[in-house]
Structure 1
């Protein structure tokens, strides 16, 4: 059984995966067992599809009860391979601009960031396969349709993207309040991959150790931090300002 953005039922999800459907995430009922479920789990791991175990109430809400222990959400877009994206962009321009989102899980912020990224000429957005905000109806709405206009890549680990960008001659800049310099003090004219973290966790410490530069925005009031989509917009527009 399939809805507009869902595939409901274990067997239906298995067939969809085999058919090459772009699945964003699979929700599996806790403690569900059986041969068919084992086959589904094997396929999910083989194809690196994001999945999580949830209470039956979650599945009932998604499917009105007739789910047989599993519901999949379908991505409205096709994701691009990182290597393909970087190669194509570097062929066209010398100073590309990429955006890496580490541990960002809120769909509203994700959509708002995609919208700003499109307005500021970002050449591609990179997210991790597991734990990242899904590309769903909320993302599409808050992005004002920009999600269909900008390439998005999924990688197994953010570190993979960092290493690949660095090997391609693109500097990695992390946005973090732990930075000693503001973004206004750094030269952003060469090729840049900007990393933004989630509001709750920030950027993974193991990723921060790999970056070329860390920058921050000055905070002048009593509130200690900005919404991540607002901070991302301010930083992207500083890159645009320097390049104009």
Structure 2
């Protein structure tokens, strides 16, 4: 098992500095992505086209941050040829920033739907579902990043469990949206915007779970992608 001080005892202080820096840069990117999700949800709930435009514009910065962190990881791999837990750290960061970039993309998609709804006027239905799932996946992103920062596999496992709940909430929300559309065909256009936003939020939850799985891989050295919650819990407990 990896402890929290495992990356601070290298003979080369420069190597320690490089590892700390790339992790810090990943967490900075994570903070911005977390804000993107929150702002995107705000923009669609409040028909705020200005906020939506800001979210879309900031996506370029997130893309640039992903490239930068990936480049840092590549340089460390090439120059330091890390092994064991150091290698897992670099790999986990590289994978996590990819998931963060994808979360940023989903926030951008939600902002696009917010712009469409703002043009048509604030939607009267669907906001309850967006708010509920938006807040839920927002907490998941925050907790996944916190688990990574603290190397907390228990919190990572909890994020994975929350993803299961989000999937159930998403199914319920989709049925509600379909009901709104059948009851009032005039709402179909706006409800489609809501539907695509809900789909993006569900994907945010998926990527938050991925980040949590990277934490378990980093700490336990076990590749836990594509495993069920029961097996995931066994890996955490071992």
More helix by share: 2
TM-score after normalising by structure 1: 0.27
RCO (CA 8 Å, sep 6+): is it higher in 1 or 2? Answer: 2
Q: TM-score, normalised by structure 2?
A: 0.27
